[in-house]
Amino acid sequence: MSDKPKRILVSNDDGYFSEGLQALVEAVSPLGEVWVVAPDREQSAASHAISLHRPLRIKEVRERWFAVDGTPADCAYLAINHLLKDDRPVLMVSGINHGANLAEDIMYSGTVAAAMEGALLGVPAIAFSLVARRSFDFAPGARFARSLVASALSRPLPPRMLLNVNIPGGVEPEGFVVTRQGRHSYGYEVVENEDPRGRKYYWIGGSDYQHEDIPGSDCNAVFRDKRISVTPLHFELTDHGRLPDLSGWRVDGFNRHEPDGA
């Protein structure tokens, strides 16, 4: 049996200097050989953007710690396909994000996107987020991250495994729940204003938060029960329930054919 330490890749969307990233690195460092490849600046809400039309630059901050002038997905791509291509990581972790990535947040999150890119490239991945807005105490989340990563490393993992973890802020969580993705809203207000030269500008993204009461959801676990939510995600976006209805649509001038294998 090899004594070689297991290689763990760490990234985020808050930047290579962020407190949450430092906490995650410290948490998982006893578990393997940690490499950090993270954005050189904050990339919150960057989603899964990837840079195809400009060159990217990598700066070595210190040994096994790199800053990239790109998106979180860029960081995962460069780490796995370039920096670590000769000895790929066995696991990727992203975070700890400064804020929630619950429900529809997943669609916008750079933290989740970094982990998702890793999973797409065949490296099992876990995204960690702290559900707080002002006071960020990463210690409880870091302790859970160490335990969850240790558990993950102790077993065979499917290469495209992707977990989304949210830790409630301001409390010491007494446990975790395996959840489904919930639904929530921050409101849809658009604030219009004028700059000193009389030109209009706009702020989007509201602050009127509310979530639906969905049994077994990540929102319920975190906000109602004050427990850590662990949500397994996948890449299949097909709305299977919509297929029969859509198959009955008539489109004038075009024949509808059955898909291969149907």
Q: Per-residue pLDDT tens for 110-127?
A: 999 999 999 999 999 999
pLDDT at 193 (0 to 100): 93
**Given a cut of 90, is residue 258 above it in pLDDT?**
no
* Beta-strand pair 191-194/200-203: antiparallel
β-strand partners of 165? 128, 230
Average pLDDT score over residue span 86-102 = 95
**Given a cut of 70, is residue 131 above it in pLDDT?**
yes
pLDDT at 226 (0 to 100): 94
Helical packing angle, 19-28 and 139-153, nearest 10°: 40
What whole-number distance in Å separates Cα of residue 86 and Cα of residue 38? Answer: 19
Pick the closest to residue 18 from 109, 129, 98 (CA basis): 98
pLDDT at 256 (0 to 100): 87
pLDDT at 44 (0 to 100): 81
Q: Which domains does the chain have, with CATH numbers?
A: 7-182+213-236 (3.40.1210.10)
- Tell the residue number behind the tokens 């529809």, with chain if given: 104
Residues in binding site: 13-14, 44, 97
pLDDT at 91 (0 to 100): 98
**Given a cut of 70, is residue 1 above it in pLDDT?**
no
Note whether 14 and 20 are within 8 A (CB): yes
Residues in binding site for a divalent metal cation: 13-14, 44, 97
Note whether 73 and 114 are within 8 A (CB): yes
Percent of residues, the chain, with pLDDT higher than 70: 97
Note whether 146 and 165 are within 8 A (CB): no
pLDDT at 47 (0 to 100): 85
pLDDT at 206 (0 to 100): 67
Note whether 232 and 141 are within 8 A (CB): no
pTM of the model: 0.91
Per-residue pLDDT tens over the stretch 213-243: 889 999 999 999 999 999 999 998 889 999 8
Per-residue pLDDT tens over the stretch 157-177: 999 999 999 999 989 998 999
pLDDT at 262 (0 to 100): 61
Per-residue pLDDT tens over the stretch 14-71: 999 999 999 999 999 999 999 999 999 888 878 888 999 999 999 999 999 999 999 9
